[in-house]
Amino acid sequence: MILREWRRFYTIGKILLQHGLDELIPRHWQPWPVRLFRRTLFWLHNRYPQQSRGVRLRHALENLGPVFIKFGQMLSTRRDLLPPDLAEELALLQDRVPSFDGELARKQIEQSLGQPIEALFSDFDPQPLASASVAQVHTARLKENNADVVIKVIRPDIQPVIHDDIRLMRLCARIIAFLIPNNRLRPVEVIEEYRRTLLDELNLMSEAANTIQLRRNFENSPHLYVPYVYSDYCRENVLVMERIYGIPVSDRAALEANGTDLKLLAERGVEVFFTQVFRDSFFHADMHPGNVFVSREHPNNPQWIGIDCGIVGTLNRQDKRYLAENFLAFFNRDYRKVAELHVQSGWVPLDTKVEEFESALRTVLEPIFAKPLAEISFGHVLLNLFNTARRFNMHVQPQLVLLQKTLLYIEGLGRHLYPQLDLWQTAKPFLEHWMRQQIGPQAAWNAIKEKAPFWAEKLPEMPDLIFDTLTQVQHQQHMVKGLYQQYHQQHRRHAQARYLLGTGATLMLGSIILLPSHEQLATIGLTISILCWINGWWKISHR
């Protein structure tokens, strides 16, 4: 076991060094023992010096295998941590993984479902339809209703590979964190986040639940179709869902041959995205071209098809409200409003100087807005906003990073389908309508309708609730009155105590002055002053 891990560790190090990735670490962050050790590994020199650092990083991760490919894909979403050139290159990573034996897939499906394939499916193709880093897909036909389905099955040998590679990645992260203290990349935290993401993706029951939720949100919608999930046949490592026969969204020639209205399709993609984000607070966060198809039916009224819902994003009410207001402020180029919204939402620290933040936003965004709106990338505006806010100690939240990544995907697909797409003109009416629903008379009426069933349920209890409330109010009034009287008495005792202590101090001072000439009178004065002090201290100590 230890020998195998060290061999894997050496393989990882060899591939990273042969792609020159040690050059990504600034020289002043490398202690001299590390530089000396690197020179001794003379046979592991950079073999691709002519390539950019982003290309070398992407190729290295592809050579390291599926776990590292997935890591690169996840890392590409953390644009708050990576330089833009590395993030853009990692976003190109695709799952180029050979398929595993179909008979192994058959055995795993039978083991998970507890029945032979023939008992559940009248047809099963052992040749996979598609193969990815952690799973592959086979086509089949259900016996119960003769429906065409696809079966997604987790690779049977992926678990030990994942655990071994994650353990080694943790070790590398700790070494980097030790050698480069106060590293903004936070390597240990990034690896831990990746571990959680990967383990969640290995549970296909989670993907099934996400797919069911998204399908319910867009049931009978002409804009988006989500395949039906046969939940009775789903397990942690097996997912069975309806097979779709759409056109890949990246195949523009096939879409044109089918007579698809590409302008309407592109605009509907934008509407689907904003509907998921602002209406449902539940959006498909992995809408790259491999997961998006277009229905062959009704080309004049095109419909998107979304698959692979393993990664989804959610937003709370406050995030949605501030995002919508930020977008509208962008449309109006109101940088002051954008800066104030970031402070109000807590995305940047409360002590941030709004004027400085506003000036930084204007410097970065104004040159972008000098172009025609149709040529401006909405996703890159959001990226520039996050990069600017990062200078003001903004910690980008995961849901916002997923949102930004998804917006870049949608915009890229839309521009691919219809280069003249004006994303701003398409999005602004939607956002304005949504804001009207959140603020003003319409929002109040919606709130009343939403709460009406609750109020109707509580209406018969209202007399008892009112009586209980009045009783509690009366009881609280008595308590407040008693507390006030207690406070008044205490205040009066304190006033008396201060008077007695002051009088005692005055008599004592006078008695000391009279003591040489009027000893008897001074003695009486001292006695009275002591009595005043005793009485005063007693009133203070007995509240």
**Residues annotated in a binding site:** 129-137, 152
Distance, in Å, from the CA atom of 295 to the CA atom of 302, rounded to the nearest integer, reads 7
Distance, in Å, from the CA atom of 287 to the CA atom of 309, rounded to the nearest integer, reads 9
85 is catalytic: no
Catalytic residue (one of 286, 308, 319, 422):
286
What are residue 413's phi and psi, to 5 degrees? -65, -45
Residue-by-residue DSSP string for 199-215:
HHHH-HHHHHHHHHHHH
Binding residues for ATP: 129-137, 152
Alpha carbon dihedral 247, 252, 255, 256, in 10-degree steps, equals: -170
Distance, in Å, from the CA atom of 511 to the CA atom of 496, rounded to the nearest integer, reads 22
**Closest Cα to residue 275, out of 423, 431, 422?**
431
Distance, in Å, from the CA atom of 71 to the CA atom of 416, rounded to the nearest integer, reads 27
Distance, in Å, from the CA atom of 120 to the CA atom of 530, rounded to the nearest integer, reads 101
Alpha carbon dihedral 10, 14, 16, 21, in 10-degree steps, equals: 120
Contact 278, 434 (CB under 8 A): yes
CA distances from 243 to 229, 246, 445 (A): 10, 10, 42
Q: Which residue in the block uniquely carries the two structure tokens 């833009």?
A: 84
Residue-by-residue DSSP string for 438-479:
HSSHHHHHHHHHHHHHHHHHHGGGHHHHHHHHHHHHHHHHHH
Question: Regarding beta strands 224-225 and 304-306, do their DSSP bridges make them parallel or antiparallel, or are they unpaired?
Answer: parallel
Q: Which residue in the block uniquely carries the two structure tokens 């209890």?
A: 461
Contact 57, 19 (CB under 8 A): yes
Q: Looking at residue 228, what DSSP letter applies?
A: P
Both tokens of 36, joined, read: 């000396």
Q: Which residues of 361-381 are buried (b: 16+ CB within 10 A; e: fewer)?
A: bbebbeeeeeeeeeebbbbeb
Amino acid, single-letter form, for residue 217: N
What residues contact 394, with CB distance under 8 A and at least 6 apart? 342, 347, 348, 386
CA distance from start to end of the chain: 74
Q: Please list the active-site residues.
A: 286
